[in-house]
Each structure stands twice: as structure tokens, then as C-alpha cells.
Amino acid sequence: MKGVIARAVTYTVAAILVAGALYQTPQLPQKKPAEELLKVQQQSITASREAMLRERIDTLASGESLRNVFARGGVSELLATQALQALTIINPGRVRAGMPIVFRSAATDSAPTEIVLHLAIDRLLHLKREGSAWTESEEQLPWKTDTIVVSGRISSTLYEAIDSSAAQLLPANARKQLTWSLADVFEYKIDMSRDLQQGDAFRVMAERSSSAGGAVRIGKILAATFTLSGTELQAIRYASHRVSGDFFDANGKSLRAAFLRAPLEFRRISSTFGGRYHPILGVWKQHKGTDYAASAGTPVRAIGEGTVIRAGWGSGYGNVLEIRHRNGFVSRYGHLRAFASGVRSGSHVMIGQTVAYVGMTGLATGPHLHFEVLVDGVQRDPRSALRDRSGDPVPSSERPAFETQRALVMAALESRSSAIGPTGLAER
């Protein structure tokens, strides 16, 4: 009996030990399908190869050749010649300075096996090498587009207002792009250099595109408003089949009028219409016009379609240009460095056409443009003379479509800018 009990105890202890051993033994992994194992293996090989790649980034200097940059990247003279001969997408002798170039090489090969030329923020050119043979391919980076609304108030300039309002939405270059795009929308109605006052407000809805590499650019403006001294001016993008211009006001009139509000695209005023102390004559005299301070050589554009009636020397004006427009208007541009090609007395010019270049001829202490508007032979303040010129209205047949478009964009603009500040809309 004692022997039976002893054997039972022994078997029980053995069973416990076996169970414990089985519990501590890790489970075998489940068998994977062959294709899944192959995928894992390929991913492992790819990761290993990528880890073995060495990467070097360089930049093409001004006046430098691609061959020089290739040499710095470890490309031999022979391989560089073969790589340049393989290029067909671009002309190797005409590439922009500042272009980033990436060299990639395997750890086992000192010479690069791939060269990537960043042709643009969304365009790459790949040169890949196998042995001594190079092949090229172009890659277009995708863009993601959404819509943003930016609103703000003017405290000093439009630049400053958009910088502070859109800092979280756009990088510096894109903010500058938005500023000029907004100025272009209202260039027939507002001179952003002198019409804006402290406390004026703006709202703008625009498309924003972002690349996979982090680049941001501004696309089309869809709608915008400016509130100047309590009066709101709307701009709604609408494609009319019969009326020119991309934007229309709340009443359906094209913002594209007969005259631009300013003769320079890059606007900065040094003095305004009215009395001023003349810097050369040293006397207080009536300054019947507006001076735009700008770098010498800045293009001067015709504010409207017309005929050149004077292009030559004008005493204190220096080189002066006068253009006769319809309805008795004459625009005058003084202190010019030179006239544009083909601009002479009798020439016909179009609105926005480059007609001359900023200079400092005549009675001028520095480069600037002196601009005047004469109505029926009398000098008038450009601010008031050009203010109320309106474009053509959308035809009655298009009125329902315009009203629908206006209601949609203005509702979106209003709902997302009830508080001054930036707002992002849905992506697409």
C-alpha cells in the first residue's frame, strides 16, 4: 500500500513538473503564407539597402555648371560626362542658380548611384546609375489643396496685416504672394499704398496648395472684401461669358474698370497730393500729383488704354510721358529713366502695358515716379479722379448664376470670419 501511494505521489510531481515546463516554453509562431513571408523578406532587404545608402545635399551656385557640382558630389569626370549626356528633359547649360541637388550612393560604392535635381518645388529629375549607364526620369510631387479664409485689420500696411493674420496658415513667401494677389484683385478700385487707413478691415478666401515636401503656395482667390472707412467693397470670382474681368462687386459690376488705381505694381508713396516742401526748389508749392518711391528701372504701366501725346524731355519733369485716354482724361508720368520700346508720340498703348521705367531725371533727388491725372486739361487728385470708375455689369441672362455664386462664397466667407483671424476650410 505504501508503495502504491509513493508511486502516485511520484507521478503527480512529474506531471506538475511537465506542465510547468510546457507553460514556460514559448509558443511557436504560426506559419505564414509563402507570399507574406516573401513580402516581409523584401521589406527587410529594402530597409537594409536604404540604411546602407549615403546621402549628400549640395546647391548650384550662381554661374556654376552642373559638372562642378557633380565633382563635389563624388562623380568622376567620366561618369559626369555620361550623366550630362543622358539628360534630355532639361538643358544642362540652362539651370537655375540655387537649385538643390541630392547625391545618393551605396556604402559599398564611393560614386553616387543616384542624383536628384530639384527643378522646382513640385518637380524632381532623377538620374540613376547602373555601372556606367545613367537613366533619367521625372517625378511630379503631388499637391494637396484646401481653402483658407484670412481676415484682419489694417494697422500700418497690408503686408503687416496679412503677416500677423496668416502666420499660422502660411509661410512668409506664401503670405507675400497672398498680399499681392489680394492687391491685384482690387487694383482697379483700391491703391493699397494710400487708400488704406488704420482700422480698415479685409477678408479673403483663397485656395492653398501644400506639397509633400512642405512647400506651400497660394492658388485662386475665390472671394474677398475690403471695408474702407465703414464702406464694404466685395469681390466675387465669376466667369462671365460676355463681360471681361475675373471679379465682380456686390451689384454684379466687373471690378475691371477703365483705369488702374496706380501706375506701379510695386507701390510705395513718398508724398501725396497737396501742399509739400519741394526738396530741390526749397519752397512750399502745390504738388499736383502723387510721387511713388521705387527703385530705378521699375516698370511703369499705363493706367488705361490711350494714345501717347508726349514722350520726351519736360524740364523739371525730366523725361515725361503723357497719354490721352477717353472722356478727356490725360495721365502724366515724370522723372523717367527711359521709355519702353516702341513708346513714342502717336503710339497706342493698352491698360497695364509697360510704357516707361522709374528714374530720377529732372528735379528729383532720388528715383521715384511722379504721377498726375488731368481731366479736361485741369490737374486733378488721382485719388478722387480715378475712384468711381466702374466696369460693365453681368448681363441679365447671367444674373441668376452670379447671384447663386455670390450667395455661396459670401456665406462661406462670412461664417468663417465672424472673428478677426485665420480659418482653415475643408481639404479636397
pLDDT of 34 higher than 70: no
Kindly report the three-state secondary structure assignment for every residue of the chain.
CHHHHHHHHHHHHHHHHHHHHHHHCCCCCCCCCHHHHHHHHHHHHHHHHHHHEEEEEEECCCCCCHHHHHHHCCCCHHHHHHHHHHCCCCCCCCCCCCCEEEEEEECCCCCCCEEEEEEECCEEEEEEEECCEEEEEEEECCEEEEEEEEEEECCCCHHHHHHHHCCCCCCHHHHHHHHHHHHHHCCCCCCCCCCCCCCCEEEEEEEEEEECCCCEEEEEEEEEEEEECCEEEEEEECCCCCCCCCEECCCCEECCCCCCCCCCCCCCEEECCEEEECCCCCCEEEECCEEEECCCCCEEECCCCEEEEEEEECHHHCEEEEEECHHHEEEEEEEEEEECCCCCCCCEECCCCEEEEEECCCCCCCCEEEEEEEECCEEECHHHHCCCCCCCECCHHHHHHHHHHHHHHHHHHHHCCCCCCCEEEEEC
Confidence (pLDDT) at 269 = 55
Res. 127 pLDDT band, cuts 50 70 90:
very high
269-385: what CATH class? Answer: mainly beta
- Residue spans of the domains in the chain: they are 50-140, 143-257+403-427, 269-385
Per residue in 292-348, pLDDT (tens digit) is 888 899 999 999 999 999 999 998 999 999 999 988 999 999 999 999 999 999 999
- CA–CA separation, 311 and 202 (whole Å): 39
Fold of 50-140: Nuclear Transport Factor 2; Chain: A, (3.10.450)
Res. 37 pLDDT band, cuts 50 70 90:
very low
Of 46-50, 120-124, 133-137, 221-225, the one with minimum mean pLDDT is 46-50
Confidence (pLDDT) at 40 = 46
- CA–CA separation, 248 and 254 (whole Å): 4
Confidence (pLDDT) at 14 = 46
Q: Considering the chain, what percentage of its residues have pLDDT values greater than 70?
A: 78
Domain 143-257+403-427 has CATH 3.10.450.350: yes
Of 6-20, 126-140, 204-218, the one with minimum mean pLDDT is 6-20
Q: Considering the chain, what percentage of its residues have pLDDT values greater than 90?
A: 60
pLDDT of 9 higher than 70: no
What average pLDDT does range 12-33 have in this prediction? 44
Do the domains spanning 50-140 and 269-385 agree at the CATH topology level?
A: no
Res. 50 pLDDT band, cuts 50 70 90:
very low
